[in-house]
Chain A
Amino acid sequence: MARLKVTAKLDVSRRSILIITFLAYVVSPLVVLGVLAAAGKSPLVALDALYRGTIGTAAGFAETIVQGTPLMLMALGLAIAYRGKVWNIGAEGQQIFGAILVTWFVLLFLKNPLPAYVMIPVGLLLSFVGGALFATVPALMKSRLGINEIITTIMMTYVAVEALNWLVRGPFQDKTIPGSYPESPIFPPETALPILVRNTSVTIGIIISVALCILAYYFLFKTPLGYSIRAVGFNPSAARTSGIPVKRVINSAMILSGALAGLGGGIYILGVTHELLPEQASGIGYTAVVVSLLGNLHPLGVIFSSLFFGGLVSGMSSVERALQIPRTLSLLSQGIIIVLILIIQVLARYEIKRA
Chain B
Amino acid sequence: MSKDTKNQSGAAIVMQGITKNFPGGVIANDAVDFELQVGEIHGLLGENGAGKTTLMNILYGLYQPDGGTIRVFGQPAVFGSPADAIRSGIGMVHQHFRLVSDMTVTENVVLGLRSSKGFLTDTSSADTRISALAEQHGLQVDPKAQIWQLAVGQRQRVEILKALYRDARILILDEPTSVLAPSEVKDFFKSLRGLRESGISIVLITHKLDEVMDVTERVTVLRKGRKVATQPTGSVNQESLAHMMIDEAIPPVANKVTAAAHDVVLQVTNLRVFDDREIEALRGISLEVRKGEILGIAGVSGNGQRELVEALVGLRKPASGSIAVTGRDVTGRAPRAIIDLGVAYVPENRTEDASIADFRIDENLILKDFNKTPVCGMLASKIPTFLNDREIRSRAEQAVAQFGIRATGISAKARSLSGGNLQRLILARELSGSPMLIVVSQPTRGLDVAATEYVRSLLIQQRNHGAAVLLVDEDLAELIALSDRIAVMYKGETVGLLEPGQSSSEEIGLLMTGAKRMAAAA
Query: Within 8 Å CB of A241, what residues of B?
Result: 313, 315, 335, 345, 347, 353-354
| Residue B334 at the chain A interface, CB threshold 8 Å | yes
Q: Can you name the residue of chain B whose Cβ is closest to the Cβ of A241?
A: B353
Which A residues from 61 to 115 make CB contacts under 8 A with B? none
Task: Say which residue of B313, B358, B386 sits within 8 Å of A223 (CB atoms).
Answer: B386
| Residue B359 at the chain A interface, CB threshold 8 Å | yes
Query: What is the CA–CA distance of A243 and B338 in the complex, to the nearest angstrom?
Result: 9
Question: Interface-forming stretch among B124-132, B166-174, B213-221, B367-375?
Answer: B367-375
Query: Within 8 Å CB of A181, what residues of B?
Result: none
| Residue B11 at the chain A interface, CB threshold 8 Å | no
| Residue A22 at the chain B interface, CB threshold 8 Å | no
Task: Kindly supply a per-residue 1/0 record for chain B positions 19-57, scoring 1 wherever the CB is within 8 Å of any chain A CB and 0 otherwise.
Answer: 000111000000000000000000000000000000000
Given known contacts A218-B386, A223-B384, A241-B315, A231 and B416 CB-to-CB distance under 8 angstroms: no
Query: What is the CA–CA distance of A239 and B366 in the complex, to the nearest angstrom?
Result: 11
Query: What is the CA–CA distance of A222 and B370 in the complex, to the nearest angstrom?
Result: 10
Query: Within 8 Å CB of A3, what residues of B?
Result: 80
With contacts defined as CB atoms under 8 Å apart, how many contacts are there between chain A and chain B in the complex?
84
Query: Within 8 Å CB of B336, what residues of A?
Result: 243-245
Query: What is the CA–CA distance of A230 and B364 in the complex, to the nearest angstrom?
Result: 12
Q: Can you name the residue of chain A whose Cβ is closest to the Cβ of B413?
A: A11
Which A residues from 228 to 259 make CB contacts under 8 A with B? 228, 230-231, 234-235, 237-245
Contact A5 B80 (CB under 8 A): yes
| Residue A146 at the chain B interface, CB threshold 8 Å | no
Task: Say which residue of A10, A238, A353 sits within 8 Å of B367 (CB atoms).
Answer: A238
| Residue A224 at the chain B interface, CB threshold 8 Å | yes
In the assembled complex, the CB of B223 is this many whole angstroms from the nearest CB of chain A, namely 23
Q: Can you name the residue of chain B whose Cβ is closest to the Cβ of A242?
A: B367
Contact A222 B386 (CB under 8 A): yes
| Residue A177 at the chain B interface, CB threshold 8 Å | no
Query: Within 8 Å CB of A225, what residues of B?
Result: 384
Query: What is the CA–CA distance of A3 and B83 in the complex, to the nearest angstrom?
Result: 15
| Residue B376 at the chain A interface, CB threshold 8 Å | yes
Query: Within 8 Å CB of B146, what residues of A?
Result: none
| Residue A355 at the chain B interface, CB threshold 8 Å | yes
Contact A224 B335 (CB under 8 A): no
Contact B371 A235 (CB under 8 A): no
| Residue A144 at the chain B interface, CB threshold 8 Å | no
Q: Can you name the residue of chain B whose Cβ is closest to the Cβ of A351?
A: B23
Contact B353 A237 (CB under 8 A): yes
In the assembled complex, the CB of B457 is this many whole angstroms from the nearest CB of chain A, namely 25
Task: Say which residue of A234, A242, A244, A355 sits within 8 Å of B357 (CB atoms).
Answer: A234
Contact B352 A238 (CB under 8 A): yes
Query: Within 8 Å CB of A11, what residues of B?
Result: 23-24, 413, 416
In the assembled complex, the CB of B228 is this many whole angstroms from the nearest CB of chain A, namely 26
| Residue A9 at the chain B interface, CB threshold 8 Å | yes
| Residue B385 at the chain A interface, CB threshold 8 Å | yes
Query: Within 8 Å CB of A238, what residues of B?
Result: 352-356, 367
Contact B370 A10 (CB under 8 A): no
Contact B23 A242 (CB under 8 A): no
Contact B64 A355 (CB under 8 A): yes
Contact A10 B353 (CB under 8 A): no
Query: Within 8 Å CB of A230, what residues of B?
Result: 359
Query: Within 8 Å CB of B370, what residues of A?
Result: 224, 227-228
Given known contacts A227-B387, A231-B356, A5 and B64 CB-to-CB distance under 8 angstroms: yes
Contact B315 A240 (CB under 8 A): yes
| Residue B264 at the chain A interface, CB threshold 8 Å | no
In the assembled complex, the CB of A319 is this many whole angstroms from the nearest CB of chain B, namely 40
Q: Can you name the residue of chain A whose Cβ is closest to the Cβ of B350?
A: A238
Query: Within 8 Å CB of B367, what residues of A?
Result: 231, 238-239, 242
In the assembled complex, the CB of A86 is this many whole angstroms from the nearest CB of chain B, namely 16
Query: Within 8 Å CB of B313, what residues of A?
Result: 241
Which B residues from 241 to 275 make CB contacts under 8 A with A? none
Contact B387 A235 (CB under 8 A): no
| Residue B522 at the chain A interface, CB threshold 8 Å | no
| Residue B185 at the chain A interface, CB threshold 8 Å | no
Query: Within 8 Å CB of B371, what residues of A?
Result: 224, 228
Query: What is the CA–CA distance of A238 and B413 in the complex, to the nearest angstrom?
Result: 15
Query: What is the CA–CA distance of A218 and B385 in the complex, to the nearest angstrom?
Result: 11
Contact A224 B387 (CB under 8 A): yes
Query: Within 8 Å CB of B354, what residues of A?
Result: 238, 241
Which A residues from 1 to 58 make CB contacts under 8 A with B? 3, 5, 7, 9-11
Query: Within 8 Å CB of B23, what residues of A?
Result: 9-11
Query: Within 8 Å CB of A223, what residues of B?
Result: 384-387
Query: What is the CA–CA distance of A11 and B416 in the complex, to the nearest angstrom?
Result: 9
Given known contacts A227-B363, A227-B370, A10 and B24 CB-to-CB distance under 8 angstroms: yes
Query: What is the CA–CA distance of A3 and B84 in the complex, to the nearest angstrom?
Result: 13
| Residue B141 at the chain A interface, CB threshold 8 Å | no
Query: Within 8 Å CB of A240, what residues of B?
Result: 315, 335
Query: Within 8 Å CB of B358, what residues of A?
Result: 234-235
Task: Say which residue of B345, B352, B363, B389 sits within 8 Å of A237 (CB atoms).
Answer: B352
Contact A235 B352 (CB under 8 A): yes
Query: Within 8 Å CB of B359, what residues of A?
Result: 230-231, 234
Contact A243 B352 (CB under 8 A): no
Query: Within 8 Å CB of B64, what residues of A?
Result: 5, 7, 353, 355
Contact A243 B356 (CB under 8 A): no
Q: Can you name the residue of chain B whose Cβ is closest to the Cβ of A223?
A: B386
Query: What is the CA–CA distance of A100 and B219 in the complex, to the nearest angstrom?
Result: 74
Which B residues from 302 to 346 make CB contacts under 8 A with A? 313, 315, 334-336, 338-340, 345
In the assembled complex, the CB of B119 is this many whole angstroms from the nearest CB of chain A, namely 28
Query: What is the CA–CA distance of A278 and B413 in the complex, to the nearest angstrom?
Result: 48
Query: What is the CA–CA distance of A355 and B22 in the complex, to the nearest angstrom?
Result: 17
Query: Within 8 Å CB of A7, what residues of B?
Result: 64
Query: Within 8 Å CB of B385, what residues of A?
Result: 223
Query: What is the CA–CA distance of A166 and B368 in the complex, to the nearest angstrom?
Result: 49
Query: Within 8 Å CB of B384, what residues of A?
Result: 223-225
Task: Kindly supply a per-residue 1/0 record for chain B positions 383-415, scoring 1 wherever the CB is within 8 Å of any chain A CB and 0 otherwise.
Answer: 011110100000000000000000000000101
Q: Can you name the residue of chain B whose Cβ is closest to the Cβ of A3?
A: B80
Given known contacts A223-B386, A240-B315, A242-B368, A234 and B334 CB-to-CB distance under 8 angstroms: no
Q: Can you name the residue of chain A whose Cβ is closest to the Cβ of B430?
A: A242
Task: Kindly supply a per-residue 1/0 record for chain B positions 66-89, scoring 1 wherever the CB is within 8 Å of any chain A CB and 0 otherwise.
Answer: 000000000000101000000000
Query: What is the CA–CA distance of A231 and B363 in the complex, to the nearest angstrom?
Result: 9
User: Which 7 pairs, one residue from A and one from B, show the smallest C-beta to C-beta distance?
Assistant: A243-B336, A224-B371, A243-B335, A242-B367, A234-B358, A235-B356, A355-B80
19 contacts between A and B (CB under 8 A): A7-B64, A10-B416, A11-B23, A218-B386, A223-B386, A224-B371, A224-B376, A227-B363, A227-B370, A230-B359, A231-B356, A231-B367, A234-B356, A235-B358, A238-B356, A240-B315, A240-B335, A242-B339, A243-B335
Known: A11-B23, A223-B384, A231-B367. 16 other contacts (CB 8 A): A11-B413, A11-B416, A218-B386, A224-B370, A224-B376, A224-B387, A225-B384, A234-B357, A235-B356, A238-B353, A238-B356, A242-B367, A243-B336, A243-B339, A244-B336, A245-B336
